[in-house]
A = this chain, B = another copy of it.
């Protein structure tokens, strides 16, 4: 790989600060984690967005959360067709190898991926319809969700509803994985849907009995 460069010094400096403080004071724990392997209690599926700071929001420490982050926190349906399915691989590993007790799907406000899906489905982003658009093809997962919210008149309300549909779509798709369904029904695993408002710092979770997201 001739095109790689050394790590920029600002990251080296950040790392060295961590090494001298956090690492040093937790050295014995980190050594033990390395020797014994990870036993995370929960898997979190969230967006790559730099403003969605899962580890901060849940006060995560080394070893606590198995975290998958992709565009718009989406899980595709179960498709064991022999092709590559990166997200499905993370779910499989978390549930069958690590046996996490919880999977939390976290959506968020001002989601660029959801915005793209909204624009694509409403005809405003033809470039996302192209075969070569990776973001477009990925956001296809949320097309059925758009159908459910397109009647909402106010645009910002419609996008927010679509952000929450992204969470519900992922939860529903998770249940199409036989090993997920089995673990949920056997009581070894529970699924949770949350939506985070970046600016307000608020967090809502999905309450299935009421069929709505409510502030925790």
- Determine the main DSSP class of A at the interface with B: mixed
Chain B proximity mask over A193-209: 1 for CB below 8 Å, otherwise 0:
11001111111011110
In the complex, A133 has a CB within 8 A of chain B: yes
Query: Given the complex of chains A and B, what is the CA–CA distance between A168 and B101 in angstroms?
Result: 33
- Please state the number of chain copies in the assembly: 4
- Per the 8 Å Cβ criterion, residues 16-72 of A in contact with B are 16-43, 48-51, 53, 55-71
Which B residues touch A42, using CB under 8 A? 8, 11
Which of A15, A92, A189, A205 is most buried by chain B, counting CB atoms within 10 A of its CB?
A15
Q: Say yes or no: B3 contacts A207, CB within 8 Å.
A: no
Q: Say yes or no: B84 contacts A29, CB within 8 Å.
A: no
Beyond A1-B175, A15-B57, A22-B56, list 4 extra A-B contacts (CB 8 Å): A2-B208, A28-B189, A59-B59, A89-B137
| Chain A residues engaging chain B, CB cutoff 8 angstroms | 1-43, 48-51, 53, 55-71, 74, 76, 80-94, 97, 99, 101-102, 104, 109-110, 112-113, 131-135, 137-141, 168, 171-172, 175, 183-184, 187-194, 197-203, 205-208, 216
Question: What 3 A-B pairs come out closest when comparing CB atoms?
Answer: A17-B17, A34-B199, A29-B101
